[in-house]
């Protein structure tokens, strides 16, 4: 069974590269959207197993807020992809397990490890 991945990234070049790299790792990319609001609309019809989520997004919701809502609605694993990992740590809820985070830029090996970690 292929795991279904949603990419939430507002930089088109990064979103396209993520989509290609995730597909190369054998995962199925169901969509790529630029905002938390778009992601929340999409999950009503598409149930991702994993969400690759940028922290700074277009729209009113940041990635941390959108990730929390998506996890509550779907149970999907959230992997934060960011150049600002300290914001993730600062804004995380201490009652939740520590988030999985990929620091931009990241290697294929780091992406592979994060994806497979999210499958467990």
**d(Cα 47, Cα 45) in Å, to the nearest integer?**
7
pLDDT(94) > 60: no
Question: For residue range 46-74, what is the model confidence (pLDDT) as tens digits?
Answer: 999 999 999 999 899 999 999 999 999 99
Domains in the chain (CATH in brackets) are 4-118 (3.40.50.2300)
Distance of CA 20 to the CA centre of its chain: 15
- Is omega for the bond preceding 105 within 30 degrees of 0, making it cis? yes
| pLDDT band with cut points at 50, 70 and 90 for residue 99 | confident
| pLDDT band with cut points at 50, 70 and 90 for residue 92 | low
Cα torsion 35, 20, 120, 57 to 10°: value is -20
């Amino acid at each position: 069974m292929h795991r279904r991945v949603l990419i939430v990234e507002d930089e088109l070049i990064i979103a396209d590269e993520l989509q290609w790299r995730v597909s190369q790792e054998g995962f199925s990319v169901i969509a790529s959207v630029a905002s938390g609001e778009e992601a929340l609309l999409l999950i009503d019809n598409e149930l991702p197993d994993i969400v690759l989520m940028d922290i700074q997004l277009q729209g009113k919701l940041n990635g941390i807020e959108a990730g929390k809502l998506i996890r509550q609605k779907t149970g999907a694993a959230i992997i934060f992809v960011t150049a600002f990992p300290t914001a993730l740590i600062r804004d995380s809820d201490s009652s939740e397990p520590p988030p999985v985070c990929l620091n931009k830029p990241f290697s294929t090996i780091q992406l592979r490890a994060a994806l497979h970690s999210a499958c467990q």
